Amino acid sequence: KAMCSGRLQTALLGAGYFVYLLVGAAVFQALERTAEKQEKMAAAQMKEAFLQNFTQLTVAEMEQFMKNLIEAIQSGVYPVGNESQFEESNWDFSNSFFFAGTVVSTIGYGTLHPKTAGGQIFCVFFALFGIPLNIVFLHRVGKMLSLLCKKLGKFLYEKGMRKKKIKFLTLLFFLATGILVFLCLPSVFFQITEGWSYSEGIYFAFITLSTIGFGDYVVGKQSDRKYFSYYRVLVAIWILFGLAWIALLFNL
C-alpha cells in the first residue's frame, strides 16, 4: 500500500509539474507573441530605410542604426532574409515551453526573455512557485531512481558481493549510464540537428545540465536551419530528466 501510495504521489506530482509548464508556456506565448510581431515589423522597416539611404547616412545616423540593430538581435529579432521570418515566432508553443523549462530549472540562457510588462511580472511569479516545484519534482524522481539502486545493490549482495564493492559498482553504473544517455548520445543528436561539432554538443549538454547556461550555444536558434516541430519541447524534456539524473548522483 505504501509503495502504491508513493507511486501515485509521484505520478500526480509529475503530472502537476508538466501541467504547470504547459500553462506557463501558454501564458508566455499569449503575452509575448504580439509584442514580438511589432518588434519584427520595426526591425524590417529599419532595415528597409537603411538599404534605401545607406549612402547618405551621417556618422551619427549610422551609430544609431547599429545601436538599433544590436537591440533587435538582443530581443531575438534577426532582420536577415525575406519576410518569411515573420511566420516563425520565438514565442510559439515549442519555444515558450522550452523557455518555461529553463526558468524553473534556473538555467536562464538569456537569449529569450519576456519584454512586455505583463510577461515580466508573470515570469516573476511563475519562477517564484516553479523553482520550488522543480526542486521537489527532481528530488522525488531522484528518490525513485535511488530505489532502483537499492534493488540493484540487493541483487548483487545476494550474489555474494561485498557492500563496499556494491556501492562503488552501483555509482559507477548510474554514472556511466547517465553520461551515455544524457551527454554522449544527445551530443550526436545536436551535432546532426544543429550542425555543431561533437565537442560543441558535449559542451552545450554539460553547460545546460550543470545549469550554468552561458547562452553562447542554444538549440533551435539558427535561421538557416529547418527544425522539426516541437524540437525544443523534446530538448526541454531531456533537460528535466537530465537534471533528475544529476539529483540521483547527489543522492548516491
Instruction: Report the half-sphere exposure of 192 (CA within 13 A, side-chain side).
Output: 6
Taking residues 216-236, what's their average pLDDT?
87
pLDDT grade for 40, boundaries at 50, 70 and 90 = confident
Query: Which tops the pLDDT comparison, 98 or 226?
Result: 98
- Cell numbers placing 181: 544517455
- Cell numbers placing 138: 527532481
- Residue 218 dihedral angles phi and psi, to the nearest 5°: -140, 140
Residue whose grid cell is 506557463: 24
Average of per-residue pLDDT values in the chain? 86
| pLDDT of amino acid 84 | 46
Of 15-29, 168-182, 211-225, highest mean pLDDT: 15-29
pLDDT tens sequence across 232-250: 999 999 998 899 888 888 7
Q: What percent of the chain has pLDDT over 90?
A: 42
Taking residues 188-195, what's their average pLDDT?
94
Of 11-15, 86-90, 129-133, where does mean pLDDT reach its minimum?
A: 86-90
Of 79-93, 116-130, 139-153, 225-239, highest mean pLDDT: 116-130
Supply the range of the domain harboring residue 24.
Answer: 1-80
| pLDDT of amino acid 105 | 93
Instruction: Report the half-sphere exposure of 93 (CA within 13 A, side-chain side).
Output: 6
Q: Is 126 in the same domain as 245?
A: yes
- SS3 category, 116: coil
Taking residues 22-34, what's their average pLDDT?
93
pLDDT tens sequence across 149-162: 888 888 888 888 88
Q: pTM score, two decimals?
A: 0.84
Is 143 in contact with 251 (CB distance < 8 Å)? Answer: yes
Q: Rg for the chain (alpha carbons), in Å?
A: 23
| Residue at a domain's end among 52, 80, 108 | 80
Q: Is 100 in the same domain as 36?
A: no
pLDDT tens sequence across 168-188: 888 888 889 999 999 999 999
Which of the 8 DSSP states describes residue 85? G
Q: Is 148 in the same domain as 241?
A: yes
Query: Between the CA atoms of 54, 58, 62 and 63, what dihedral angle is there, to the nearest 10 degrees?
Result: 180
For residue 85, the Cα-to-chain-centroid distance in whole angstroms is 22
Domain total in the chain: 2
* CATH assignment of the domain containing 223: 1.10.287.70
| pLDDT of amino acid 80 | 67
- Cell numbers placing 240: 528535466
Which of the 8 DSSP states describes residue 83? G
- Rounded to whole angstroms, how far apart are CA atoms 156 and 166? 7
DSSP codes of every residue in 160-179:
T--HHHHHHHHHHHHHHHHH
- 88 lies in a domain? no
Looking at the predicted structure, is the pLDDT value of residue 29 above 60? yes
- Cell numbers placing 64: 544609431
- 223 lies in a domain? yes
Query: Which tops the pLDDT comparison, 143 or 116?
Result: 116
